[in-house]
């Protein structure tokens, strides 16, 4: 079987992408680039049930500093962001022609937006994407899903980033966490072609998890994240 064969993935997986106000609004180019990069990296991914959640916002009051990550934006960003959300409502071209846009009625933050989409998810696994982090190289999503199915205790896998890769090497473990090579070899888990390493400090990025776990509450996620290599 072709290791990149996507057959069956659409029965197991949903995708959630969270977006919020950014200076490039009302352009949708950034999220389109993220989605297109994922589709190019994982053939057939456009068939997967997909949601994009746009966070709500508050307008800065007088003498208040804008802080988009906290949902507080300057008045001049309101109209571009509203237009951006309207564009997300329009039918999407391929890939992800079936992408559904969900609007947060007020500022919910990343976790709150995930919760909105999880109410709609009908698949057992969820791939979470950020609106400004494209996929830079192909990866075998089907093998990751098979590994998670084979190991019920494996509930959360983060896709590698430059920051996370720098924090899973032997030298980093030894200097920052006083973890010797003997223990490192125990912590590294090989599941067929998939190699998982622990990341002690969570670095939020694209990640894959069992949807039922996160539906029960974000606080139930294990404090030790696993990254695949």
Per-residue burial over 91-128, b = 16 or more CB atoms within 10 Å of its CB, e = otherwise = ebeebbeebebbebeebbbbebbbbbbbeebebbbbbb
Residue 227, strand partner residues: 158, 197
| pLDDT tens, position by position, 156-171 | 887 876 666 656 666 6
Q: For residue 67, what pLDDT is reported? A: 86
Give the whole-angstrom CA distance, residue 20 versus residue 147.
32
Domains and CATH numbers, the chain: 10-138 (3.90.550.10), 140-229 (no CATH)
DSSP β-ladder status, 189-191 and 194-199: antiparallel
Give the whole-angstrom CA distance, residue 218 versus residue 176.
27
How many separate helices (H) and strands (E) can be counted in the chain?
Answer: 9, 11
Q: Which residue has the higher pLDDT, 28 or 177?
A: 28
- Cβ atoms of 208 and 148 closer than 8 Å: yes
Q: Which residue has the higher pLDDT, 22 or 188?
A: 22
Which of 66-80, 129-143, 194-208 is predicted with the least confidence, judged by mean pLDDT? 194-208
Give the whole-angstrom CA distance, residue 74 versus residue 62.
10
Instruction: Look at the block and give the residue holding tokens 């190991």.
Output: 151
Helix (H) or strand (E) holding 3: none
Q: Which residue has the higher pLDDT, 208 or 169?
A: 208
Q: Which residue has the higher pLDDT, 211 or 16?
A: 16
pLDDT of 25 above 90: yes
- DSSP calls for 107-146: --HHHHHHHHHHTT--SSEEEEEETT----S---HHHHHH
Q: Which residue has the higher pLDDT, 57 or 144?
A: 57
Q: Which residue has the higher pLDDT, 225 or 40?
A: 40
Q: For residue 218, what pLDDT is reported? A: 44
Q: For residue 158, what pLDDT is reported? A: 79
The two tokens of residue 131 are 């609106």
Q: For residue 194, what pLDDT is reported? A: 67
Q: For residue 214, what pLDDT is reported? A: 47
Q: For residue 186, what pLDDT is reported? A: 52
Q: For residue 157, what pLDDT is reported? A: 84
Whole-number average pLDDT of the chain: 79
């Amino acid at each position: 079987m072709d290791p990149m064969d996507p057959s069956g993935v659409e029965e197991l997986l949903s995708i959630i992408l969270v977006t919020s106000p950014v200076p490039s609004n009302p352009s949708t180019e950034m999220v389109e680039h993220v989605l297109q990069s994922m589709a190019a990296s994982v053939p057939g991914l456009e068939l997967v049930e997909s949601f994009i959640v746009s966070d709500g916002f508050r307008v800065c009051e007088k003498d208040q500093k804008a802080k988009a990550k906290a949902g507080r934006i300057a008045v001049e960003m309101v109209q571009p962001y509203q237009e951006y959300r309207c564009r997300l409502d329009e039918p999407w071209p391929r890939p992800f022609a079936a992408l559904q846009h969900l609007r947060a009625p007020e500022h919910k933050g990343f976790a709150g937006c995930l919760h909105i989409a999880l109410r709609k998810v009908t698949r057992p696994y969820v791939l979470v994407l950020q609106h400004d982090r494209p996929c830079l190289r192909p990866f075998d999503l089907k093998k990751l899903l098979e590994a998670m199915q084979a190991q019920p205790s494996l509930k959360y896998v983060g896709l590698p980033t430059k920051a996370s890769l720098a924090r899973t090497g032997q030298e980093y473990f030894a200097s920052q966490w006083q973890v010797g090579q003997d223990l490192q070899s125990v912590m590294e888990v090989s599941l067929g072609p998939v190699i998982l390493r622990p990341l002690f400090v969570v670095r939020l990025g694209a990640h894959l998890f069992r949807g039922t776990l996160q539906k029960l509450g974000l606080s139930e996620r294990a404090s030790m994240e696993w990254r695949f290599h």
